[in-house]
Structure 1
């Protein structure tokens, strides 16, 4: 008889434990959240970034270059998500590993690297034609920043 009352309690506990371990990004609260790397307030919806560890811990950044610099000290295998702002759709976050990047002096970013991201090669070509600059993939971008 005692086990009859324990089953719902155990079930509720398992459900709550499962829900609390969801690994997904939190929305960035622009103007309030601070960059995990440089501690500046995150205000620019076109250059923000974030990553989420496999344990669900959130790290938010005011610029993609802050994200890349912070990741140089971390193991990406421990991360569940790496997201960057889509320059073509401010406020939308896209997968950093599949995004394409442009460094152009015509597009100013919060920390001065002039780095922007878009979702695919077609969009990066349009952005490059409009603003000029050099394009990068995730791998080549990390290599570029490690050489600077």
Structure 2
């Protein structure tokens, strides 16, 4: 009987170890969180981003441009998940699935002028009230000319 219990427990441990890990965004703590790239405090949570690394650590960013700089420098191999705040809803959305809008006149913490949305329709609605912009995908962000735009 003990032998069977040990086998069942061992199988459970193996199955748990083989299951796919899920990642969730964590809350930003403005008093202590600073951007991994520019070292600015995360004062404007509505523009914040974060990466959940496969090892369980989180990297926090004050702007999508800083998050992309981190990915460009470190690659995506250790990224378990990445999140950015939806500009219309102030909710975490998947960086890789988000729709982005660039307008040099949009204010963001690092003046990149790029904001994120969960759908193309939400992005277009934003542009109808905040000013036209250029629609971008995550792939477009890799070729985007980051930096302070004039």
Distance 1:42 1:146 in 2: 19
Q: Which residue of 2 aligns with 1:76?
A: 76
Pairing of 1:14-29 with structure 2 (within 5 A): 23-29=22-28
CA RMSD of aligned residues (A): 3.0
1:96 is aligned to 95
CA distance in 2, matches of 1:77, 1:112: 28
CA distance in 1, matches of 2:99, 2:86: 10
State the Cα distance separating 1:26 from its structure 2 match: 4.6
Aligned to 1:54: 54
Cα offset for 1:146? 6.6
Confirm whether residue 34 of structure 1 aligns to residue 34 of structure 2. yes
Q: What's 1:113 paired with?
A: 112
Task: Please say if residues 52 and 79 of structure 1, whose CA atoms lie closer than 8 Å, have aligned partners that are also in contact.
Answer: yes
Q: Deviations over 1:81-123 (max 9, x none)?
A: 0111110112x11001111111123421000111110101111
Query: What is the CA distance between 1:50 and its match in structure 2?
Result: 0.7
Moved over 3 A (4+): 145-148
Unaligned stretches of 5+ residues in structure 1: none
Q: Secondary structure at the match of 1:50?
A: strand
Q: Please report the TM-score for the alignment, with normalisation by the length of structure 2.
A: 0.77
TM-score, L = length of structure 1: 0.78
Aligned pairs, number:
146
